[in-house]
Copies of this chain bind each other. A is one copy, B any other.
Amino acid sequence: MQKNNFFDSLWFTAGVSILIGLVVYLLPVPQSLYEIAEAVPARDAQRAWTLLAIFAFTIAAFILKPWPMGTVAFIAIVMLVITRTLGIGPALSGFSNTVMWLIISAFFICRGFIKTRLGERVSYLFMKKFGKKTLGLSYSFIASNLVISPAMASSTARMGGVLFPIIRSLAEVSDSKPENGTERRVGSFLLFTTFQADMPISAMFMTAMAANPLAVLIAREVIGVEITWVQWMIAAIVPGLVTLAVLPLILYKLYPPEIKETPEAAEIAKKKLEEMGPLSLIEKKMIGIFFMVLLLWIFGSYIGIDATTSALIGVCTMLLINVLTFEDVKNEKIAWETLIWFATMVMMAGQLNTLGIIPWFSDIVTNAVHGLSWQMAFLIIALVYYYSHYFFASNTVHVSAMYGALLAVAVAVGTPPLFAALSLAFISSLFGGLTHYATGSAPVIFGSGYIKQNHFWGYAFIISIVFNIIWLGLGGLWWRVLGLW
């Protein structure tokens, strides 16, 4: 980074971040926020507004990067407490978030893949089979994800625990210098494409994302519509498969890998595999742990074991059978950095809802679409729902906070109920690609260091437009064919 450039200087980046927060802070608190806040004791218009200002500063500082994200997170926590916006207890609550510890466990599982060299071996196997073209590799990862997705509701576990370790190993064997310097050789493209493709995959099956059943439940409660597993799948399959087909091609153009073709890949991989010889004992241990955790992620819900506990069981096993030492755990710096900034984001995003900003925002949308045709009204609602995810660090929290309210408004202005319920439910997965804190897998992918933040946000925004066109446009036609409207 050239610190000589004024726009990269601390004065500019810190100044703009603080200015953005300060402007929001100094704006008068809207009267409508006071009205919304009065309805529920936990809400508080004044504190909600200060939180919004600190949130705005944090996001600005995450993007402009005057300081590392962890420093910004500590500053945000301190500001929340000294402005009396939150007590120190609630301000630290993100650190015990269960998704947080699934993410941290994913980093440890990835370390196990790297340390045992199993990740390397699997990468060579992928290279041998699909490695001639980087594009082909991306499709092979997406296909793998699609296969396990209906059975594995935690997209964080799928991306962070299953695909991330393999792609990361593959990136490291392919890229000579896998650090930020050579962002685009292979790892950046593969990680970002697979991550973005996980959003339509999450949207394709009711059981492919943790918040999907919640949306079904809310739809039943709020507008009395029943969505079945098959109905969901049929409605989603066409836009879903189209998205998965075109997404790698688009990113291949926009955010190309530096190495596109390696005709000799199969040969190299074969040679490397021969060099590695047969599976070592520690690799076999890691395979055993991996399949145990995979089975727990798939079937754990039947015996009441959630995704975080499943991952922690894997971590304990790795430690007990000496795949990892506790020293490895302490050394996993990315885990601790992610802990600090993501816990802070999760906490702030949750409090935006609790203190009243999100309900107030939903109310504004409701008033705005009043009197429009249902098509126009629904388009606005869908886009607002989509892009309001910049304010969220969890799909589940976003669905809990806004899905029901916006669905009710959509139906009230005349949108066909099943159409509205399904398309908003699909968006509840798609928006998870917007930012590096948007959903549990995002900080894992981002933590790899392969994708710079401005690239992450920029390309993610372009992809979100593609998602909207395919799902609301083509999807809309398909749902017409299905008779949803």
Contacts and interface: CB of A to CB of B under 8 A. Distances in A.
Contacts of A82: 305, 309, 313
Contact of A92 (B81, B92, B101): B101
A320 interface: yes
Interface string A324-344: 011001110100110010000
Contacts of A88: 98, 306, 308-309
A337 B326 contact: yes
A312 B75 CA distance: 8
Nearest to A315: B74
A8 B70 CA distance: 41
A326 B96 contact: no
A89 interface: yes
Interface in A288-321: 304-306, 308-309, 312-313, 315-316, 319-320
A364 interface: no
Nearest to A341: B326
A115 to B, nearest CB: 16
Contacts of A78: 309, 312-313, 316
Interface residues of A, number: 41
A159 interface: no
Instruction: Give the one of A74, A77, A336 with max B CB within 10 A.
Output: A74
Interface in A167-201: none
A75 B314 CA distance: 10
Contacts of A485: none
A316 B71 contact: yes
A84 interface: yes
A78 B68 CA distance: 33
Interface string A197-233: 0000000000000000000000000000000000000
A21 interface: no
Contacts of A94: 96
A95 interface: yes
Contacts of A336: 329-330, 336
B96 A89 contact: yes
A32 interface: no
Contacts of A68: 325-326
B333 A70 contact: no
A107 to B, nearest CB: 12
Interface of A: 67-68, 70-71, 74-75, 77-78, 81-82, 84, 88-89, 92-98, 101, 304-306, 308-309, 312-313, 315-316, 319-320, 325-326, 329-331, 333, 336-337, 340
